[in-house]
Structure 1
Amino acid sequence: MLVNFTQLFQDSWNFIRNQKQFVLVLTGAFFFLSISMSLINSILLAPMPIVTDMEQFKDPAFTEQFLQAQGTKQNIFAFVLHQLIFSYLTCWGILSVHHISQRTYHSLTQMLALAFRRFPGVIALSILITLPLFLSLANLITTMTMQTSPSFFSILVPFFAIFIFIRLCLAPVSYLITEQRLSESVSFIWQTGIKRTMTLVIYCLIVYIVFQSIGQRLISLASNIPIAVITNLIIAFISSFTLVFTYRFYTMFIQKD
């Protein structure tokens, strides 16, 4: 079935208007996560070195290396923590949108429990489809940093990884809202996407480029606390809309002509 993106936006907005209470809760959850992670980052990135040998810090090179290493570890921890919580909220949000659309929504606790049960599989699929992309880009960046000429293979691999990501980007959604196994979700989305890659490309451009760019632009405008609160609220709403948009796109995409 051909996906009408204009209709898709309209359907997503209608859901937002008709389910104001749920959208408010979901947006509030994303907003609370954003504020909480900002506080955690401010704590983790504060200079709190644990000194065991004061003589070591007489060497400026050691001091700089120590602080950089601590900052890197803290950044990685904060990033992983944020991604895990954000992914869980995403699972809960999409599951809730699905059950509301199917008129089978019962309670918040039920949706949280269902999301928790499917969460490990969603993470596994997300890693499966994104890891090749990250590894290939990291390899390409490393090659460029070392000022060596990249091989034809190292240039070609990122494009292949992007293709895999685009073709399988809906696999976590399929696994989340169905009773499919991991392999079945991958196979189902791959088969469904045959000769429809351009539709998936448009979806990825909207979700991962347009929506993300809007969010980054809003973050850059946060020059003080009141504006930061407002921008985080808007970004949280965009995250909620993205989940509705993703679910609506998935339901249209899997329909057969």
Structure 2
Amino acid sequence: MRIVVTNCNTTRAMTEEIVRGARSAAGPGTTITGLTPAWGPESAEGWLDSHLSAAAVLDALRGYEEEPYDAVVMAGFGEHGREGARELLDVPVVDITEAAAHLACLLGRRYGVITTLDRSRGQIEDSLYTAGVAAHCAAVVGTGLGVLDLGDERRTTEAFLAAAERARVAGAEVLVLGCAGMTGLQRVLGDRLGMPVVDGVGAAVRLAESLVALGLRTSRAGGYARPRPKRRTWSAPVREGGWPGR
């Protein structure tokens, strides 16, 4: 089984970190390939970045022809684009935001999301609402750190612990890592917090594996029907005929 994991920004070092986390979660026989958009923001923080990122990721997926793949994991927490990707691709598309929330709902009555900047909270709340899991979210709490600040492990750990306490006070029984760049923190912080900590990248990889193993694909009845045929101008041409994936 081959899964393509898409970064939502153009920072290749972050793609590599996300891929490491995805591979550590994947089962035997699953191959993980990272995909970095050729254009877009270096970090997605805010509505403008998110919409720009969505277009760039869709463009990257549309033109990806290196090898067949069985599923896509979209590694942008709260970012736009997942619905468009489900229309575009023939393979299952799993977004780390809803994947983490669904698993968190299996572990406690209410969960809290620990994210980067406070400005991302609205996007995440909207994404959870659209996915149907917002009712179980006790709080979305920012750490005050930018996406590109997450490389400082000590600072990130301290900020996460402080934010986690606020989420606990708000009623969270499970915590969700609200940024793909936080992948790996669940191993460090789970025991210290005494609460389950769900990493969206790992959750999405495992859910993608399950969908593929069960032979399930995105429904074409209704909202995720194929895009209507019309002329669309993209950033670069791809082969004629067919659709990405297999």
Q: Is the TM-score greater than 0.5?
A: no
Name the larger-Rg structure. Answer: 1
Structure having the larger proportion of residues in helix:
1
| TM bracket (short chain) | under 0.3
Q: Which has the higher contact order (CA 8 A, sep 6+)?
A: 1
TM-score (norm 2): 0.27
